Amino acid sequence: MLIDFHTHSTASDGALTPAQLLARAQTRGLQYLALTDHDTVAGYLEAVELLPEAAELTLIPGVEFSCRWSGATIHILGLGMDCEHPAMREGLAQLSDAREQRAITIAQRLAKLGYAGALEGAQAVAGVSQIGRPHFATWMVAQGHVADHNAAFDRYLGQGKTGDVKAFWPELAQVTQWIESAGGAAVVAHPLKYRFTGMKLRRLVAAFAEAGGSGIEVISGRQTSDQVAHLQRIAQSFDLEVSIGSDFHREWQHGADLGMEIPRIEGLRGVWERWAVATAS
């Protein structure tokens, strides 16, 4: 059985519209899909209207919240929450504002480097999508300021560069509580992407568990079996559920496509079991 609990659409920085993402998931034979756009559920709300009741595919409400912990930007997935719950409404509104404010700051910083017009440029690229650094990168490429997206992140937008503005994100405990109060499962996204030492990663997961979080992603895109085993051990030591997802943004030969087989997870609980998806043992 194929499932995927971490995907993006054009509501944030994915290339496929919610309708196209649903179609791709159905063509590939997925049974469970969570659409987890950055800081918005607009794509999910659009997709759920499009899905016929008799569909083989079950769509799970999702979001990927940006937050701060110990000076780093961390991504926390919300799965299966009530999007209309007051805590979620407050969180989503706060994050939309944060993204607008952050975009202004990013543009001011780029202007100081001689790149004027970044805010209007990135806003035009984003359109109605939740604005983010990829939209700035696309604008920089279109202006000829950099050769490609990678160069834009490497030089201006990536971790530690001038456009990496974290100040507007809420704290890890806050976003975890929004999700959990709305009946969802808060899940630490791609734990290895933060490039923490093993010790720091355990400190992050401890803080997250302490805040009431439910799970961690043990498979995110393509990982080695050693990495999966490492993350499963962390889940076990903090008694957390495990989740899996492709982090699909677009078709890309180096990235994972939609849909993953449920792994063997002896002694662990899959977050998917909340939707009565059986785990092979």
Cβ closest to ligand AMP, residue 66 vs residue 220: 66
Min dist. Cβ of residue 125 to ligand AMP (A): 12
When asked if residue 158 is in the footprint of ligand AMP (CB under 6 A), the reply is yes
Residues 6 or more apart whose CB falls under 8 angstroms from that of 213 comprise 76, 176, 180, 186, 187, 188, 240
When asked if residue 151 is in the footprint of ligand AMP (CB under 6 A), the reply is no
From the list 41, 247, 258, 259, which residue makes contact with Mn ion (rule: CB under 5 A)? Answer: 247
When asked if residue 24 is in the footprint of ligand AMP (CB under 6 A), the reply is no
149-167 burial code (b ≥16 CB/10 A, e <16): eebbbeebbeeeeebebee
CA dist., res. 115 & res. 153, Å (int): 15
Query: 126 is written with which tokens?
Result: 């984003």
Residues 65-124 that bind ligand AMP (CB under 6 A): 66
Residues 6 or more apart whose CB falls under 8 angstroms from that of 207 comprise 69, 70, 172, 173
Min dist. Cβ of residue 198 to Mn ion (A): 20
241 binds, among ligand AMP, Mn ion, none (CB under 5 to 8 A by kind): none
CA dist., res. 85 & res. 181, Å (int): 8
Residues in the chain: 281
Sign of CA dihedral 218, 223, 229, 230: negative
Min dist. Cβ of residue 86 to Mn ion (A): 25
Of the candidate spans 81-89, 126-134, 200-208, 263-271, the one that interacts with ligand AMP by CB under 6 A turns out to be: 126-134
Cβ closest to ligand AMP, residue 157 vs residue 185: 157
195 sits in the region (left: phi over 0; alpha: psi -120 to 50; else beta) called: left
CA dist., res. 71 & res. 159, Å (int): 12
When asked if residue 99 is in the footprint of Mn ion (CB under 5 A), the reply is no
Cβ closest to ligand AMP, residue 46 vs residue 100: 100
From the list 134, 170, 215, 259, which residue makes contact with ligand AMP (rule: CB under 6 A)? Answer: 134
Residues 8-37 that bind Mn ion (CB under 5 A): 13
161 binds, among Mn ion, ligand AMP, none (CB under 5 to 8 A by kind): none
Cβ closest to Mn ion, residue 70 vs residue 237: 70
Tell me how far CA of residue 234 lies from CA of 81, 82, 186, 229, 238, in angstroms: 24, 28, 16, 9, 6
When asked if residue 149 is in the footprint of ligand AMP (CB under 6 A), the reply is yes
Residues 176-235 that bind ligand AMP (CB under 6 A): none
* 167 backbone dihedrals φ, ψ, rounded to 5°: -60, -20
x/- track of binding to ligand AMP for residues 236-275 (CB under 6 A): -------------x--------------------------
Min dist. Cβ of residue 20 to ligand AMP (A): 17
CB-CB contact of 123 with 111 (8 Å): no
CB-CB contact of 55 with 28 (8 Å): no
Q: Which residues bind ligand AMP (CB under 6 A)?
A: 13, 38, 66, 132-134, 149-150, 153, 158, 249
Footprint of Mn ion (CB under 5 A) = 13, 64, 75, 189, 247
